[in-house]
Amino acid sequence: MPNFALSINEYSTGKKVSVCNLEIDGVCQFNTFIEELEEIHKKEIKKLAISIWQLSENLKPRNRNHLKGKHLKDCRELKTQNLRLYYLVLDTGLVICLGGVKTKQKKDLRQIETLRLKIIKHIEDHGDLQIEF
């Protein structure tokens, strides 16, 4: 079973809702996503950053969607023209789990579905995920 932890997202400067990055075995999924982006997509990070800030202020970004699917009820996405950022709505706040590009969305949805089930199992077995500062 993977080791899960949380860290506050750097763009989550609002005071109303915690927007956290998921760390799996010490690897921050959000930072890895950003680092691995091709140059052509990096200009879209600013739009995602603004949306993350809006979420942290409990505002509703226009580019926010609910995902549909049997195991995706707590999952949401932020999107730009080419990028997707998937997050879970948990009691402790919002957890950014996975980033992806539009062309690989079907694969990403399968991955977020599996990740969601593992996180829920982890919470059942070990209690809420802890935020590391």
Q: pLDDT, tens digit, for every residue of 110-132?
A: 898 888 888 888 889 988 887 77
**Strand 93-101 relative to strand 19-24: parallel, antiparallel, unpaired?**
parallel
10, 29, 33, 40, 84 from 37: Cα distances, Å: 18, 13, 6, 8, 12
When the pLDDT of each residue in the chain is averaged and rounded to a whole number, the result is 87
The whole-model pTM stands at 0.85
Token pair, residue 103, equals 């062309």
Q: What is the CATH number of domain 4-132?
A: 3.30.2310.20
User: What's the N-to-C CA distance of the chain in angstroms?
Assistant: 23
Query: Which pLDDT tens digit goes with each residue over 79-93?
Result: 999 999 999 888 767
The pLDDT assigned to 10 comes to: 94
Query: Which pLDDT tens digit goes with each residue over 50-59?
Result: 999 999 998 8
Q: Count CB atoms within 10 A of the CB of residue 2.
A: 11
